Amino acid sequence: MTKVKHVRTADCVVAGFRWHKSGPIVGSLLLGLYDGGTLQHIGVAASFPMKRRAELVEELAPYRAEALDGHPWQDWANAQVQENGENRMPGAVSRWNAKKDLSWVPLRPELVVEIKYDQLEGRRLRHTGQFLRWRPDRDALSCTYDQLEVPVRYDLGEVLIADGSPDRE
């Protein structure tokens, strides 16, 4: 048996980051996609070598200035917003570890990054996205859910019986 994972890419808005647990370097980029004009938090990209994490601090510095002014996630602490699992914002209590620090640093939502991901769970990344490259040619507002590949659905029963053999019960 061979397991073949489906690899997809998406262009996402970088709307913030979290510090790495070991010190003042970037731990993860907070990613979003627009849905009806609202920037939804979809997950993070976090697989960087330590040297790259340090470089990201300088690269992201210009986007930190006045980032919270009008930021789409500025009211992330609103408890009612946190309760809706589909609209989870960064800073909410971790689903896996209630003691984990999920504080974040807002960035003006202008940067676009291309990530690699395997699948969505609802409207969020199932696993951590992997940074591929910056997309200076993309406008952040153009990063919507519409770009995402919708997996083909099939009835497993039809696939297994598709060879014309009689139904086995």
Residue-level pLDDT at 112: 98
Residue pair 7/114 in contact (Cβ under 8 Å)? The answer is no
Residue-level pLDDT at 99: 54
Q: Write down all domains in the chain, each with its CATH number in brackets.
A: 8-161 (2.40.50.140)
Task: 125-129: list long-range contacts, CB under 8 Å, 24+ apart.
Answer: 125/31, 125/42, 125/43, 125/44, 128/28, 128/43, 128/44, 128/45, 128/46, 128/47, 129/10, 129/12, 129/31, 129/43, 129/44, 129/45
Residue pair 16/102 in contact (Cβ under 8 Å)? The answer is no
Residue-level pLDDT at 82: 46
pTM: 0.76
DSSP annotation of 90 reads T
| Residue ranges in the chain modelled with pLDDT below 50 | 77-85, 93-97
Residue-level pLDDT at 83: 46
Residue-level pLDDT at 164: 57
Residue-level pLDDT at 64: 95
Task: Give the tokens for residue 116.
Answer: 């690699």
